[in-house]
Amino acid sequence: MSIDKDTVGKIARLARIRVTEEDKEKLSAELTNILTMIEELNAVDTTGVEPMTSVVQVKMHQRDDVVTDGGIPDKILANAPEKAAGFFVVPKVVE
């Protein structure tokens, strides 16, 4: 896949980045090289290869999912300017 100067200009405009005409040429070549490398990587057969998050096998430590706070709705609602049926009352924003 090849990226031309016009496409670089569109990308720059969408990203709100000012790019000079001479930089568009360089960026066009660099982006084309990046996409070519990605196409080469897509050609690699990865069937049977398990996805990895790291190059070493590490088991992530997971803590127990325990509720450590809560059960105090009256204290929480005490700060509310308006409440009803145990809930905060907020202004309607959609009609």
Q: What confidence category does residue 13 fall into, taking pLDDT thresholds of 50, 70 and 90?
A: very high
Q: Is the pLDDT at 12 greater than 90, yes or no? A: yes
Q: Which domain covers residue 37, as residue numbers?
A: 5-42
Nearest to 27 by CA among 49, 42, 12, 44: 12
Residue 88 lies in a domain: no
Tens-digit pLDDT profile for residues 68-93: 777 888 888 998 999 999 899 998 88
Q: What is the CATH number of the domain that holds 37?
A: 1.10.20
Residue 13 lies in a domain: yes
What is the total count of domains within the chain? 1
Angle at 15 between CA 18 and CA 28, to 5 degrees: 70
Give the SS3 label for residue 3: coil
